[in-house]
């Protein structure tokens, strides 16, 4: 049973959630690599010239920033749940999963930006088109498969914990579990938009939750739910 009122998400947590959406979408549109089936010459051209190179670097940097924002947001959500539960009774598994998510996503961004960054610094000649395909494709797959699987685990457990703490209503919990299932298909990219929708809903619901009051009875807690 909850033992204290749960505070709303902090401004920093809210900004982190919004930051993830902005940076992730920014990373997706900053560079436009060719399709894997595109001719080698098209891949080489896409990594030729400062304009193209900087777009790939920017894409990778945005993805790294998105990873950090997502980790901060999920940590804030867990802290909110933890504050509504007796001390020591809330599993830190969502925190671990959020850390794994951020690590994999940041690694994916690094893979996407490494070759372009090396070209800008003059470290070595432009590699073959096959290596360009590999670095770009692997960077996305690291983010979309294990990275989003870790995110799915994080929000699945968070929903269970928040439901038990009285912070998620039934519909919000079910919505979270559906999003978690959809995220397992994130190698298709589009399912990642479901995570963005979940973040927006979670922020709105948390911001609408009543503030804790000193007039509350002991054990009374605020309810975060999308049922209302």
Alpha-carbon span 46 to 29, nearest angstrom: 14
Q: If you average pLDDT over residues 182-186, what whole number do you get?
A: 96
- pLDDT score for 221: 42
8-49 pLDDT per residue, tens? 788 999 999 999 999 999 999 998 888 888 999 999 999 988
Q: What sections of the chain are H helices per DSSP?
A: 11-30, 40-46, 50-83, 93-121, 129-142, 148-165, 170-183, 192-208
> Smallest Cα–Cα separation from 195: which of 76, 83, 67?
67
Q: Where are the domains of the chain?
A: 11-208
Is 80 exceeded by the pLDDT of residue 129?
yes
Q: If you average pLDDT over residues 129-133, what whole number do you get?
A: 91
Q: If you average pLDDT over residues 120-129, what whole number do you get?
A: 83
Is 60 exceeded by the pLDDT of residue 133?
yes
Ramachandran assignment for 128, one of left (phi > 0), alpha (psi -120 to 50 degrees), beta (any other): beta
Is 60 exceeded by the pLDDT of residue 206?
yes
Q: Which of 60-64, 149-153, 199-203, 216-220 has the lowest mean pLDDT?
A: 216-220
Task: Specify the length of the chain in residues.
Answer: 228
Which residues, 6+ apart, have CB-to-CB distance to 30 below 8 Å? 55, 56, 58, 59, 62
pLDDT over 90, % of the chain: 63
Is 80 exceeded by the pLDDT of residue 211?
no
């Amino acid at each position: 049973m909850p033992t204290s009122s749960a505070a709303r998400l902090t401004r920093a947590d809210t900004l982190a959630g919004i930051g993830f959406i902005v940076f992730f979408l920014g990373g997706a549109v900053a560079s436009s690599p060719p399709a894997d089936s595109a001719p080698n010459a098209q891949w080489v051209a896409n990594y030729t010239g400062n304009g193209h190179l900087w777009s790939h670097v920017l894409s990778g940097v945005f993805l790294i920033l998105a990873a950090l924002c997502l980790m901060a947001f999920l940590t804030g959500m867990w802290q909110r749940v933890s504050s509504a539960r007796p001390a020591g009774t809330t599993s830190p598994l969502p925190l671990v999963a959020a850390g794994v998510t951020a690590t994999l996503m940041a690694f994916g961004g690094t893979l996407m930006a490494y070759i372009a960054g090396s070209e800008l610094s003059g470290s070595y000649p432009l590699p073959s088109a096959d290596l360009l395909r590999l670095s770009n494709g692997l960077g996305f797959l690291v983010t979309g498969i294990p990275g989003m699987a870790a995110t799915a685990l994080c929000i699945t457990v968070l929903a269970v914990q928040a439901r038990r703490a009285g912070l998620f209503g039934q519909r919000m919990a079910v919505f979270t579990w559906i999003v978690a299932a959809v995220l397992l298909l994130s190698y298709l990219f589009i399912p990642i938009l479901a995570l963005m929708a979940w973040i927006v809903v979670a922020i709105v619901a948390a911001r609408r939750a009543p503030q804790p009051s000193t007039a509350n009875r002991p054990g009374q807690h605020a309810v975060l739910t999308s049922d209302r």
